[in-house]
Chains A and B, each alone.
Chain A
Amino acid sequence: MLLFVVSIATFAIFFLVPRLAGMSADDLASRYVGKAANAQVIHDTAIRLGFNDPVIVQYGRFVKGIFTGVDRNYGPGIEHCPAPCLGYSYVSQNPVLPDILNRLPITLSLALGAAVVWVIFGVATGVVSALRRGSFFDRLSMGIALAGVSLPIFFTGIVSLAIFRDQLGLVGDVADWVPFSEDPLTWANNLILPWVTLAFLYAAGYARLTRAGMLETMSEDYIRTARAKGLAERVVVLKHGLRATLTPVLTMFGLDLGLLLGGAVLTESTFSLPGIGKYAVDAISNNDLPQVMGVTLIAAAFIILANLIVDLLYAVVDPRVRLA
Chain B
Amino acid sequence: MSPFLDVKDLKIHFPTDDGLVRSVDGVTFGLERGKTLGIVGESGSGKSVTSLGILGLHKGRGANISGEIWLDGEELVGASQEHVRGLRGKKMAMIFQDPLSAMHPFYTVGDQIVEAYRIHNKVTKAVARKHAIDMLGRVGIPEPGRRVDSYPHEFSGGMRQRAMIAMALSCDPELLIADEPTTALDVTVQAQILDLMRDLQREFDSALIIITHDLGVVAELSDDILVMYGGKCIEYGSADDIFYRPEHPYTWGLLGSMPRLDREPTERLLPIKGSPPSLINVPPGCAFHPRCPYTERTGDKARTEAPALAETEGGHLVRCHMSPAERRDLWENEIKPVLETP
Contacts and interface: CB of A to CB of B under 8 A. Distances in A.
A182 interface: no
A18 B119 CA distance: 70
Contacts of A226: 104
Contacts of B151: 319-320
Contact of B119 (A231, A318, A320): A231
Interface in B87-139: 87-90, 93-94, 96-98, 101-106, 108, 115-116, 119-120
B35 interface: no
Contacts, number: 70
Contacts of B93: 228-229
A230 B119 contact: yes
Nearest to A240: B104
A230 B153 contact: no
Contact of A229 (B52, B89, B98): B89
B176 to A, nearest CB: 11
B104 A225 contact: yes
Contacts of B85: 230-232
Contacts of B116: 229-230
A53 interface: no
B73 to A, nearest CB: 20
B189 interface: no
B115 A222 contact: no
B105 A229 contact: no
Contacts of A227: 57, 88
A1 to B, nearest CB: 33
Contact of A230 (B52, B98, B102, B120): B120
Interface in B142-188: 151, 153-154, 167
Given A229-B89, A230-B88, A222 B101 contact: yes
Contacts of A220: 101
Contacts of B57: 224, 227-228
Contact of A319 (B86, B87, B105, B167): B105
Nearest to B113: A229
Contacts of B104: 222, 225-226, 240, 243-244
Contacts of A230: 85-90, 116, 119-120
Interface in B317-335: none
What is the interface residue range for chain B against chain A?
A: 20 to 34
Contact of A228 (B94, B98, B120): B94
Contacts of B154: 323
A84 B96 CA distance: 60
Interface in A209-248: 220-222, 224-232, 240, 243-244
Most buried by B among A224, A228, A323: A228
A225 to B, nearest CB: 5
A224 B98 CA distance: 12
- Chain B interface mostly: mixed
B234 interface: no
A192 interface: no
- Chain A interface mostly: helix
B7 interface: no
B55 interface: yes
Contacts of A33: none
Nearest to A226: B104
Contacts of B88: 227-230
Interface string A309-321: 0000000011110
Most buried by B among A222, A230, A243, A318: A230
B199 to A, nearest CB: 22
B106 A318 contact: yes
A221 B115 contact: no
A231 B104 CA distance: 14
B96 A221 contact: yes
B96 A224 contact: yes
Nearest to A246: B106
Interface in A237-286: 240, 243-244
B185 to A, nearest CB: 16
Nearest to A222: B104
B106 to A, nearest CB: 6
A290 B96 CA distance: 63
A320 B115 contact: no
A67 to B, nearest CB: 44
A319 to B, nearest CB: 5
Contacts of A243: 104, 106
Contacts of B94: 225, 228
Closest 4 CB pairs of A and B: A230-B89, A230-B88, A221-B101, A229-B89
27 contacts: A220-B101, A221-B101, A222-B104, A222-B105, A224-B52, A224-B102, A226-B104, A227-B57, A227-B88, A228-B55, A228-B96, A229-B115, A229-B167, A230-B86, A230-B88, A230-B89, A230-B119, A231-B85, A231-B115, A244-B104, A244-B105, A319-B105, A319-B108, A319-B151, A319-B153, A320-B151, A323-B154
Interface of A: 220-222, 224-232, 240, 243-244, 317-320, 323
Interface of B: 52, 55, 57, 85-90, 93-94, 96-98, 101-106, 108, 115-116, 119-120, 151, 153-154, 167
